[in-house]
Amino acid sequence: MKIALAQINCHIGNFEGNVAQMQEAIRDAKSKNADIICFPELAVCGYPPRDFLEFDNFIKKSKEAVEELAKAAVGIAVVVGAPRRNPVIEGKDLYNAAFFLFDGAVQHIYDKTLLPTYDIFDEYRYFEPGSNFDVVHYKGYKIALTICEDIWNIGNENPLYTICPMDEMMVYQPDFMLNISASPFAYDHAEQRKKIVATNAERYNMPVFYCNHVGAQTELIFDGGSVVMSPGGKLYEELPYFEKGIWYYDLEEVKAGRAYRAAIVPKIERIHEALIVGIRDYFRKSGLKTAILGLSGGIDSAVVAVLVQRALGKENVRVLLMPSQFSTDHSIDDARQLSENLNIQYDIIEIEPIYQRYEKTLEPYFSGLPFNIAEENIQARARGMLLMAFSNKFGNILLNTSNKSEMAVGYGTLYGDLAGGLSVIADLYKTEVYDLAKYINKDGEVIPTNIITKPPSAELRHNQKDSDSLPDYDILDEILYLYINEQLGPKEIISKGFDGQLVNRILKMVNRNEFKRYQTAPVLRVSNKAFGMGRRMPIVGKYLG
């Protein structure tokens, strides 16, 4: 038995493109005499389709796509995920299904049983849980066919669920398991995922073939990293991350196992690759080509400029340097040097005349009042206006350069530096942005050293530094991580040795600025808890924990 795993990059709603991609993979698999080829969860329509599932024609097109793939399943079996109608009146209208295609027709359907509703997942909104646990009979083998979350309740020990699909299937004594998945990237998720697959292979003492998506869908990034496990939970092979392709396995060889050591990829390298994939697919799948951003001479915009240049190519990136009367000469020089290092187009537009015009217009109303955040934000909004003017005139999509620390505490200006179509690094705390900058410079100076070493500043008033209103980022980020990612309350955070007044002040800042995050661009998700669809907080809530 020869089994092929296809890591493919699907596009939500692009049925023709998805089917063509899978047909090409099927032809390749047939030429290599594969018996089965597996595609990821909901590969026919792309994952996650969200409310597209509520359109009748979307489900009709999914059905037609499965039928088209069935025609190619001659001389080879095809396993592919797609939504399907619930044939009975009771329950929700749809199942999240895995189709086993052979001899030009659908031979078996397995419906996903465990429907996650945590973090970024909302599957129970759309799907009815499956309840049929028959195995697939094919060429003398019995195959346990499962979908993603179905293998995450090993031995029915996960408190989220009351049934373990594999325990139910074991009465049929399957020979091996095929799992098709849509498991999104987080920098610490791959090891957890491998552990789950290995535990299944150990518990059921059978080979497990786990096939995952690759590529990005708006804010969600899928890293591939499909795995093959031998009986007893021994890793047979780990597929490449962020790479499309087809890999082939002989079942008997997988049963026998082999010595295999998975490559250890540092966290920051994983994040670097993930963000490049996220940017590239956001543009490609949206039919976009060119990007623009404001380059301040600070660390955040510098890192974003490098990432977008690597994702889209130097010819598709334009930056604006927009100094004010508060900008230092070295910031302008640093931004210019970075632009030249990246060989990207840059323009310098002084905003002081624009600011002065605003100041003069507002003078009758602001007269006698001290300079404060109002004047600071005028500068940020003037820059945002210029960037959006270029975006509208030349078709360049504006990228947001705010980091997670700033987004958390509201250290940003609505309709100014928080503008943009995509938030590139808003799931990276400031300290992680510095780590990424150092990684970018590992083979030589790309980002000027002065950008990395100088104290961070928004430069919206003379001699301003972030530390004027925020604690050092080493401290701030640790508190934010415990609150946002670990979901600890103030008492638990204070018990770890942090100052009580500081903790309460920071947490109040986070909650008070929820309204800003509601209005900002989608955030590329690289952690286990990003702002956006995976973290849903009320704007008017008072609770701190």
In the predicted structure, residue 464 carries a pLDDT above the cut 80: no
Strands 317-321 and 422-423: unpaired
Q: Where are the alpha helices (DSSP H) in 313-466?
A: 329-342, 352-366, 373-394, 404-409, 430-440, 449-453
The answer to whether 477 and 435 have CB atoms below 8 angstroms apart is no
- pLDDT of 346: 98
Q: H-helix or E-strand containing 507?
A: helix 500-512
pLDDT band for 462, please (50, 70, 90 cuts). confident
Which of 122-131, 303-312, 460-469 bottoms out in mean pLDDT, i.e. has the lowest? 460-469
Q: What is the identity of the amino acid at 149?
A: E
pLDDT band for 467, please (50, 70, 90 cuts). confident
- pLDDT of 300: 97
Mean pLDDT for 460-481 is: 86
The answer to whether 83 and 98 have CB atoms below 8 angstroms apart is no
- pLDDT of 328: 77
- The string of pLDDT tens digits covering residues 67-93 is 999 999 999 999 999 999 999 888 999
Which of 241-255, 281-295, 322-336, 349-363 bottoms out in mean pLDDT, i.e. has the lowest? 322-336
Q: Give 98's strand partners.
A: 81, 110
- pLDDT of 396: 96
pLDDT band for 466, please (50, 70, 90 cuts). confident
Going from the C-alpha of 391 to that of each of 117, 292, 312, 384, the distances in angstroms are 37, 7, 16, 10
pLDDT band for 391, please (50, 70, 90 cuts). very high
- The string of pLDDT tens digits covering residues 130-171 is 999 999 999 999 999 999 999 999 988 999 999 999 999 999
Q: Domains in the chain and their CATH numbers?
A: 2-260 (3.60.110.10), 270-518 (3.40.50.620)
Measured CA to CA, the distance from residue 348 to residue 336 in angstroms comes to 9
The contacts of residue 155 (CB under 8 Å, 6+ apart) are 164, 167, 203
- pLDDT of 457: 79
DSSP letters, 153-194, are: SGGG--TT-S--HHHHHGGG--SEEEEE---B--TTHHHHHH
DSSP letters, 443-493, are: TS-SS-HHHHHSPP---SSTT--GGGTS--HHHHHHHHIIIIIS---HHHH
- pLDDT of 468: 78
Q: Burial code of 369-406, b = ≥16 C-beta within 10 A, e = fewer?
A: eeeeeebbbbbbbbbbebbeebbeeeebbbbbbbbbbb
- pLDDT of 263: 84
- The string of pLDDT tens digits covering residues 101-117 is 999 999 999 999 999 99
Q: Give 398's strand partners.
A: 292
- pLDDT of 29: 98
- Please confirm whether the linkage preceding 184 is cis (ω < 30° from 0): no
Query: Residue 422's closest CA among 273, 216, 238, 235?
Result: 216
Give the pTM: 0.95
- The string of pLDDT tens digits covering residues 292-312 is 999 999 999 999 999 999 999
Q: H-helix or E-strand containing 2?
A: strand 2-7
The contacts of residue 72 (CB under 8 Å, 6+ apart) are 23, 26, 27, 78
Q: H-helix or E-strand containing 195?
A: helix 189-204
- Return the structure tokens found at 76: 């080879």
Measured CA to CA, the distance from residue 424 to residue 403 in angstroms comes to 8
Going from the C-alpha of 243 to that of each of 240, 263, 274, 307, the distances in angstroms are 6, 15, 11, 18
Average pLDDT of the chain is 96
Q: Tokens 């073939």 belong to which residue?
A: 209
pLDDT band for 326, please (50, 70, 90 cuts). confident
- The string of pLDDT tens digits covering residues 416-449 is 999 999 999 999 999 999 999 999 999 999 999 9
- pLDDT of 528: 96
CA atoms within 13 A on the CB side of 527: 19
- pLDDT of 307: 98
For the chain, state the CA radius of gyration: 26
- pLDDT of 469: 79
Query: Residue 9's closest CA among 244, 329, 249?
Result: 244
Active site residues: 41, 112, 148
